[in-house]
Structure 1
Amino acid sequence: MTDSPRARGTDKRRRLMRAAARVLHEQGVERTTIADIAHAADVPVGNVYYYFKTKDELVQAALAEHAGGLAEFTAELEKLPEPLDRLKALVASWIEQRDVAARHGCPTGTLAVELDKRAEGGLDAEAGRVIRLLLDWVEAQFRLLGRPDAADLALTLVGAYQGMSLLANALREPGIVSREGARLTRWLDALPEPAA
């Protein structure tokens, strides 16, 4: 049984989106070419233009891939019974990715910073929306814990992740993520019960 042309096209598009997310994270927007993404996706360069007309469209596709990956990941975390367990599992996932953070930084955070430096496009706002998805999910977990300061706590947790990713990347030290992740886990465990 052969795949239909539509199924093959959908597969190529998905491969290009995944490759764009990975290559843009590893190389940055300015250093990445459409040919780099095509090669990583194992798609002929000429075919890329059928799916994405410009590099900015590939950047948008990478951001959509990040958003989709985050949605899948948080849906998995939602299977844990308690919000505190979900937050601690989130931190544990950051620790697991410490080598990637030390080499390339946070996928969305580094992209947001790089896109903010560009004069055109508005893609920086799209990157911000992906980070907002994480902030909103973390805030929801703190709200489920009964925290009236859920938005502030979410900002503290996600901000700590961005900071430790940046430092680990700048210093090429994955241990920063391990140490800070352990500190964040202790911080989560030590949060006082909300006032009644």
Structure 2
Amino acid sequence: MTDSKTRARGADKRRRLMAATARVLHQQGVERTTIADIAHAAEVPVGNVYYYFKTKDELIRAALSEHADHLARLTGELDRLPDPLERLKALVGAWVGQRDVAARYGCPTGTLAVELDKRAEGGIDAEAGDLIRSLLDWVERQFRELGLPGPGDLAITFVGAYQGMSLLANALRDPDIMTREGDRLIRWLDSLPESR
């Protein structure tokens, strides 16, 4: 096998491990997840995990990187829409589209941030906060483009509404909460003075 094929297989295995880590941590939480759980989900022998990630903290960072990549892809797609109000509404649509997952496991980033904050080890909790900050920054830019006063505060209200509806949908195991609150968030966006 050529070196390029070996590197490609290694990169694929690492990628599968990163995706599996993000998925399993979301579903089971940091403390309940084992290296074996991640290896099984990635369809990789357990020993191979340590070749790519030496510690559980490295795996957690890989999950955060996976979430950051997902957010970058999503906001990149939304940025193709010409109107910032439509971008925000499309983001709500994406959130509501994940209502069944949210009802079962909560928001992937929000639940991970809360769990990591309780660990208080290694500064990874701050990295999760940075990921939420990048979402807030993107949302704030949309409100700024709309010419609304207090775009940072509006971004907090908007993202806070999402985190709240995710938490309630999860706690009550009711995906319809995401639908109803998503509709309310759209109505709120439409009621803003400059968005009419």
TM range (shorter): over 0.9
Matched residue type, 2:10:
G
Q: Could you tell me which residue of structure 2 aligns to residue 85 of structure 1?
A: 86
Q: Deviations over 1:25-65 (max 9, x none)?
A: 00000000011011111111100001000111100000000
TM score, norm. by length of structure 1: 0.96
Q: CA deviation at 1:147?
A: 1.5
Q: Could you tell me which residue of structure 2 aligns to residue 122 of structure 1?
A: 123
How far, CA to CA, are the matches of 2:72 and 2:120 in structure 1?
Answer: 29
Gaps of 5+ in 2: none
Q: Could you tell me which residue of structure 2 aligns to residue 27 of structure 1?
A: 28
> Is structure 2 residue 190 aligned with structure 1 residue 192?
no
Matched residue type, 1:11:
D
How far, CA to CA, are the matches of 2:120 and 2:114 in structure 1?
Answer: 13
Q: CA deviation at 1:148?
A: 2.6
Q: Could you tell me which residue of structure 1 aligns to residue 48 of structure 2?
A: 47
Q: Could you tell me which residue of structure 2 aligns to residue 70 of structure 1?
A: 71
Determine helix, strand or coil for the equivalent of 1:193. Answer: helix
Matched residue type, 1:18:
A
How far, CA to CA, are the matches of 1:124 and 1:32 in structure 2?
Answer: 17
How far, CA to CA, are the matches of 1:119 and 1:75 in structure 2?
Answer: 32
Q: CA deviation at 1:119?
A: 3.2
Over 2 Å off, 4+ runs: none
For the aligned residue pairs, the C-alpha RMSD in angstroms reads 1.3
Gaps of 5+ in 1: none
Q: Deviations over 1:7-42 (max 9, x none)?
A: 111101110000000000000000000110111111
Determine helix, strand or coil for the equivalent of 1:84. Answer: helix
Q: Could you tell me which residue of structure 2 aligns to residue 149 of structure 1?
A: 150
Q: CA deviation at 1:171?
A: 0.7
> Is structure 2 residue 92 aligned with structure 1 residue 99?
no
How far, CA to CA, are the matches of 2:78 and 2:9 in structure 1?
Answer: 32
Count residues in correspondence: 194
Determine helix, strand or coil for the equivalent of 2:194. Answer: coil
